[in-house]
Each structure stands twice: as C-alpha cells, then as structure tokens.
Structure 1
Amino acid sequence: MDWLRDHMWETWLALAVMLGVAEMFSLDLVLIMLAVGAMAGVLTAALGMPVVVQVLAVAAASVGALALARPSLVKKLHGGPELRLGHGKLVGVQGVVTEEVSALEHGRIKLAGEIWSAAPYDETITIAPGETVEVLQIRGATAYVHPIPRLDS
C-alpha cells in the first residue's frame, strides 16, 4: 500500500493512458473525458495532495468534462452538411430554358450542363426560352421549375 501511495501519479497516468486507448475502440468520447479526469489525478498526486483530494479532483474533472466539453464535441463531430445524392442535389439549382415550358407542353432546360425535360411548378404560367429558372422539384426525369425574376435596367 505504501508503494501505491508513493507512486500515485504514475497510477493515475497509467489509468489515463488505458482510458485513452480504450476510447480508440469505443469512439463515444466518454472514456477520453474520464482520461481527462485521471490527468487531474496525475496533477494533484504530483503536487502531493492526499488521496481523498485526488479522487475528488478526478471526479470533478471527469464530470465537468462529460457535462461541459463532450456535448459540444459530439455535436461538432457528428454534425455536418446534408449529403444529397443523385438528382436530389439539383433541387435549388438554376438553369436556362431552351424550349418553351408550359403545363400543356413540357419543354427543356439546360441544367448543370445537361438537358432536362421541364414543366412549370405553377401550372398557370408559361416560361419562354432564354429565361432563367430555379428547380423546385424533380419527379422522375422531369424538373419542375419556376422562373427567376429579372432586374432589367
């Protein structure tokens, strides 16, 4: 028992290292927060504090890291841009009408370097060739578009 008391900082350091290695397998950021607490134990043991103070420092640092640091880290790591695949990524993109688009006669638009079949999203309008449109929806191989107003000078 005297050996353990004489080498407490090494014991806390070994615990921190083991928790850090275990975190590499779990990847949930809980064990690394406990390792941070164990590093507080290393610090307090190196300063010669009693074991009770070391355990309290470890507990306080671990709980603090779990409560304060982990939520924001998890949010940053698990958040990110929405991944849109296929033709869904074309929604919101602008194109140019190449053949008149109306509800009665579907036309064509040039969209992202390709020619697409197009219909007006609002069935009461007709869109002339050369107009810039925005894709609001894609159903099958048809883009449903709405004209973008021009600011003529």
Structure 2
Amino acid sequence: MSYVGWMIFGVVLLVIEILTPTFFFLWFSIAAFLSGILAMFGLNLGWQVSVFAVASTLLVIFTRPIAKKIMGEAPRKVYVEELKNGVATVVQDIDSSKGTGIVKISGENWRALSVDPKKVIKKGEEVVIERIEGTTVYVRPIETEAKKEGEEI
C-alpha cells in the first residue's frame, strides 16, 4: 500500500473517531499515519503492516486508560426493570395490527405495541409500560378521570 493509501485510511479513521463518542479509532488513525510516513521512506508493505499492528496495540493498551480518566464516568445506562410501570409519551401512533408505534421514555425512543392489540393509541397520549420484550415495550393508555367520565355520559 502506498503512503497515500495509509493517509486516506488514517483520515477515514479520524472521521469515524469524530463521529463516535469514544477514544478508540484515534489510536488506529495515528498508527495509520505512522505507517504512511514509513511508506514515504520506502519501507516495504510487510514493515508498514507490522508497524501499524504494533503501534495500534501499544497505543490502545497504554493510552486508553488515560483517555477514559479524562472523559470521566460513562453515563448511567437505563435498566429495563426501571422502565416497567413508567410513563411514556407516544411519538408515533401505536397500532399493533400494523406493527407500528414509538414512545419516548427518559429521552429515548422505543418501539411500542399496545397490550390490547385492538386498541390504537394516538400520538401525544401518555401510556404506562406494562412489560418489555427485547427492544419493544408493551404499553397501555393511562385512563384519566376526564376520559372515564366522558365514557359514562
């Protein structure tokens, strides 16, 4: 691979690093630039690949812990058990017969289906999470006093 190839590879890895919130691809990008510099001086492909592999490994092993300290603690993950019986807002109509529906829970969108497959829940309504299966939440609408009184009349 020519030095141009290594430099392009390094730039691509750098762009991926910018688009992701980790300090992971940065080390590979640096190693690609190092290999590109060595390619400019005429080292053969075997040496270039070896330098890339060794430099990547050493950079990940020795600098990743430092980068983790600088970045601080990772944000707390949402636990599935915490979501049960929680309230969510419907952001896309939930229609179990069509398999459509999205709710927003703690700022995250989840695929949603109604526990009553015959009931369509409209966008903007609030729902209670009954159960979670994989990446799908099963919900039921919140029955407000106004709705109950309106049905009785």
TM-score, structure 2 length as denominator? 0.46
Please identify the structure whose Cα radius of gyration is greater.
1
TM-score, structure 1 length as denominator? 0.46
